[in-house]
Amino acid sequence: MAQPEKPAILFVCSGNICRSPLAEGVFAHLAGEAGRGDDFLLDSAGIGNWHAGERADPRSRATAKRHGFDIDHQRARQIRPADFDRFSLILGMDFNNVTALKRLGGHSPKAEIALFSDYTLGRHEEVPDPYYDEDDGFETVYHMLLAGCQSLLSKL
């Protein structure tokens, strides 16, 4: 008998160095703590390719480390057409991300595309881009992602 497919979740932001790698790391950390680390296929990507191949923003990496997990291994990448067939759930961090995702892959019968906070918490709000903020912006984003990822993990 075939094994059921793992839920495949892709977190997406603009450049894949701030919000989406942190979201991937938060969810992976929570799943691991719950003994469910192998239950999911996780990744993150950016709408643009400005940072392709780069590590996450140092402030995202520092935020992750402060909260007990490491995202140093992640490398930024741009979303690809194949992602819309590979992932069953694609979560954009802001309204522009979701609009771009629907334009790029809204035809996919497999991928559900949604705003992160809408899908996870039932709140129609963006996860703000902390790139131009001070370090406290990353901490604020972490707490938003933590609440959303806790909710998402409980739903899956």
Give me the active site residues, please. Answer: 13, 19, 129
Element of type H or E holding 32? helix 19-33
3-35 burial, b if ≥16 CB within 10 A, otherwise e?
eeeeebbbbbbbbbbbbbbbbbbbbbbbbeeee
Residues 6+ apart with CB under 8 A from 33: none
